[in-house]
Structure 1
Amino acid sequence: MVVPLLSLHVKSLGASPTVAGIVGSTYGILQLFSSTFVGCWSDVVGKRSALLTCILSSALGYLLLGASTSVFLFAVARVPVGIFKHTLSISRALLSDLVSEKERPLVIGRFNTASGVGFILGPMVGGCLTELDGGFHLTAVICFSVFLLNAELVWLFPWSEVKFSTTKNDLQLGKNNRLSGNTGYKVQDAATARGATTSEKTARLPWIEVLSALQDMKSLIFSKMWDIFLVRLLMAVAVMLYYSNFVLALEERFGVRPKMTGYLISYSSALGALAGFALGPIMRLYKHDSHTILLHSSLLTFTLLLLYSTAHTMGVIVFSSTLLSFSTAVGRTCITDLQLTVGGAQASGALIGVGQSVTAVGRIVAPLLSGVVQEVSPCGPPSLGAALALVAIFIMSLKKPRSSGNRSDKLKSE
């Protein structure tokens, strides 16, 4: 509800375009550095406690946003949201703790569908409310109320979760097939370096445990999971390049007005949200092999980006946009599932947090690349996106698991 109105509100407060851009970028920078830390922190203190903290802190940020009467207050209001608004990623990590590994892609796909519907309805509701007198303030207060409702639901709903433990001698991260093709990789717990004994009962401070877990995660990522996150970055940048100049490119190439382009974007978003319901049959067809599904969806994304770049009619544009919304939604779910398969349930929050940081890097890189290649042609950004997708496909082909499809159906939480 609020995000599409932010630029209008900060402009109404008297900010110049440059200042508005700087203030807007602070949110992305905070998200980049906080997502991994908050995800790891959720593994230490528990997903429920972390989710409640993030929801309430985000609610405070939106309440301050609604009360902002200057650019300074506007910037201050974005700080708690930038640091703590990781509710979707922590929810995905919580879901991975509550379901079996076999069910995980399907459940996360349905979760993405639910959040996708929110991204479709939210801007419509916010757009209507902003037409009212004091509409932005009303929208921010409603958003604050929705966050409070979410906090109450998290507090009331019963569940049992897997909590990250730093009292064990070893943290097993990943026993199944992976993009890297390696199995049984262990990260030594930092507690053993201190000579922990069985008589040690006192837990370390949470922030010490978080730093220890981050060190373990760094070792795992750079030695065994670099290819997964590189593929995530390449595919994220590829898709962002496609969207970066979508409105401008259609106007220059076909004379399509922004209003009609907006309808096409809403149509594609709706299809992407519905793609979660197709994951069940797809997973059964591929025998729950997320790597192969990701490879094939990336191949489809590459083909459609190339088709969109060379299209000469609006019919081809609509066709490519329709299938792109499907392939990208399936790909996002599968890359998240692969991260959790390799990393294991114990560090699900940290792994998803790292994935969010990688995507944040893509959000920083994509506009820069788009601006450069648009100097050459309006078809430049999607063409470059197709090239990056091809590189990701090449990496996946080289790092194909030795044994695909043999995934454990053991429940992580009873």
Structure 2
Amino acid sequence: MGFIMVAVLIDMISIGLIIPVLPPLVGTFTSNQADHAFWYGAVALAFGIANFFGSPILGALSDRFGRRPVMLIGFSGLALSFFVTAMATALWMLITVRLVSGAMQANASVANAYVADISAPEERAKRFGMLGAAFGMGFILGPVMGGILGDINLHLPFFVAGTMALINWCYGYFVLPESLKPEHRRAFEWRKANPLAALKKLGMLKGVGPLVLVIGLSGLAQMVLQTSWVLYTSFKFGWGPKENGWSMFAVGVMSVLVQGFLLPKLLKVFSPQRLVILGLSSSVLTNLVWGAATEGWMMYAIIGFNALGFAVSAAIQSLISNAADPKTQGETMGAVSSLNSMMAVMAPVVGATLLGLVSHMPRGDWRIGAPFYFCAALQALSLFFAWRHFTRTRAISPTASASV
């Protein structure tokens, strides 16, 4: 577990480095806020499209050849993306390199499959939480470093991120052990690796069903929030890379506290199903208040309010992982990643469109929070489908929750 957490931590620091500076970098190629929102959406869309098609393929390849070589491909794709982005002189270069890196990057899904390989079913919720804490720690360190470096030069964080991706490749090649035993590997089939087939199979897993809708809707909400955050705070509060870096630092701290320390205690009190319901309820309220915030300090206060919202992902992943057999963990986690990538395709279009519609509003106007109100509506739908699914599951089998 320690090996994969180190790999994920380095990976997320390198990704976190560029979050506060990619939107301002796109802005250097545009002339107004509406164009800025549109082209940033296009850059994010390119990554999402490529990742949607690439994730199930890489997930299935990890079931055939092991997790380690596929993660090495991901580290290579990140390094290429960061270095080319740092040297980009036109928008088309940014879009092209995001297409390439999106196709090669499925580290999150492969890392989840890695954890499933080395964990007993009853340990998975806790260990997915530990992995989530490593993701969160990357978001503590990465955005702050990116914000500080971006204040010096917008291109500097991309060179540092590319270097860290290369360091992670070396760590993966020389240190990271393989987790998938030979007897659990299976042949690669293109027919099963296409994203639509992977999603269909995911929905057919026993006990999963409507959870696919929950993952999709809440994933879309998260992606819209992520792609809108920097531009939203820039339009509404006048924040720059440094301020956005510190706000993401706060998000990372809360993620680590919840998933790394509080989640094991929460799982002793609540079932994974109950945590999903409570976390989604918290997320609905959080997004509404974020959108209505009138001062920058309010964003920090609301981050602390949404503690249970950070437990949703680990709880759902444990339910889905336990429904899959050992030979298809990579394919299953790849399908989940592909579903999230499908939402990542839609999120920039939605987020950029909503921000473009309100970009002319005066600073501090409540209407600039349109993307967050949309996220609240999506989380409310997720909450409804999750509640209905868990209620029906309990009605069919009173012991289902205990067995999970």
User: Shorter-chain TM-score: which interval?
Assistant: 0.7 to 0.9
Q: Match for 1:125 among 145, 149, 156?
A: 145
> Are the structure 2 counterparts of residues 94 and 306 from structure 1 closer, same or farther at C-alpha, using a change threshold of 3 Å?
same
1:357-396 aligned at under 5 Å gives the runs: 357-366=338-347, 369=350, 371=353, 377-378=367-368, 380-396=370-386
Which segments of 5 or more consecutive residues in structure 2 lack a partner in the other structure? 1-16, 359-365
The residue type paired with residue 339 of structure 2 is V
Tell me the residue number matched to 2:402. Answer: 406
More displaced 10-residue stretch of structure 1: 390-399 or 259-268: 259-268
Bigger radius of gyration among the two: 1
Tell me the residue number matched to 2:333. Answer: 352
Tell me the residue number matched to 1:55. Answer: 75
Preserved CA contact (<8 Å) 1:101 1:407 = no
> Are the structure 2 counterparts of residues 53 and 229 from structure 1 closer, same or farther at C-alpha, using a change threshold of 3 Å?
same
Rounded Cα–Cα distance in structure 2 between residues aligned with 1:160 and 1:245: 36
Tell me the residue number matched to 1:182. Answer: none
Tell me the residue number matched to 2:5. Answer: none
Task: Tell me the CA shift for residue 340 of structure 1.
Answer: 1.0
Rounded Cα–Cα distance in structure 2 between residues aligned with 1:132 and 1:308: 29
More helix by share: 2
More displaced 10-residue stretch of structure 1: 76-85 or 261-270: 261-270
Aligned residues: 361
Query: Which digits, 9 at most, give the CA deviation of each residue in 1:207-254, with x for residues without a partner?
Result: xx24346587455234344411210122233445566766888899xx
> Are the structure 2 counterparts of residues 221 and 92 from structure 1 closer, same or farther at C-alpha, using a change threshold of 3 Å?
closer
Q: Secondary structure at the match of 2:210?
A: helix
Rounded Cα–Cα distance in structure 2 between residues aligned with 1:256 and 1:20: 19
Preserved CA contact (<8 Å) 1:41 1:210 = no
1:211 aligned onto 2:191 = yes
Preserved CA contact (<8 Å) 1:44 1:210 = no
* RMSD of Structure 2 on Structure 1 (CA): 3.8
The residue type paired with residue 333 of structure 1 is A
Task: Tell me the CA shift for residue 378 of structure 1.
Answer: 4.8
> Are the structure 2 counterparts of residues 71 and 294 from structure 1 closer, same or farther at C-alpha, using a change threshold of 3 Å?
closer
Rounded Cα–Cα distance in structure 1 between residues aligned with 2:57 and 2:272: 27
Give me the TM-score of the superposition, normalised by structure 1.
0.72
The residue type paired with residue 265 of structure 2 is P
Preserved CA contact (<8 Å) 1:303 1:386 = yes
Q: Secondary structure at the match of 1:4?
A: coil
> Are the structure 2 counterparts of residues 42 and 250 from structure 1 closer, same or farther at C-alpha, using a change threshold of 3 Å?
closer
Rounded Cα–Cα distance in structure 1 between residues aligned with 2:202 and 2:272: 19
1:32-43 aligned at under 5 Å gives the runs: 32-43=52-63
1:302 aligned onto 2:284 = yes
Give me the TM-score of the superposition, normalised by structure 2.
0.74
> Are the structure 2 counterparts of residues 96 and 380 from structure 1 closer, same or farther at C-alpha, using a change threshold of 3 Å?
same
Preserved CA contact (<8 Å) 1:62 1:81 = no
1:9-408 aligned at under 5 Å gives the runs: 9=25, 12=28, 17=36, 21-132=41-152, 136=155, 138-155=156-173, 156-162=175-181, 164-166=184-186, 206=188, 209-212=189-192, 217-224=198-205, 225-240=208-223, 258=239, 262=244, 264=247, 266-276=249-259, 277-286=261-270, 289-305=271-287, 319-324=301-306, 326-366=307-347, 369=350, 371=353, 377-378=367-368, 380-400=370-390, 401=393, 402=397, 403-407=399-403
Which segments of 5 or more consecutive residues in structure 1 lack a partner in the other structure? 167-203, 409-414
Query: Which digits, 9 at most, give the CA deviation of each residue in 1:184-227, with x for residues without a partner?
Result: xxxxxxxxxxxxxxxxxxxx6x4xx2434658745523434441
The residue type paired with residue 394 of structure 1 is F
Give the ranges of 4+ consecutive aligned residues of structure 1 lying more than 6 Å apart after TM superposition: 13-16, 243-252, 309-317, 373-376
> Are the structure 2 counterparts of residues 213 and 381 from structure 1 closer, same or farther at C-alpha, using a change threshold of 3 Å?
closer
Preserved CA contact (<8 Å) 1:65 1:140 = yes
Tell me the residue number matched to 1:2. Answer: 18
The residue type paired with residue 319 of structure 2 is L
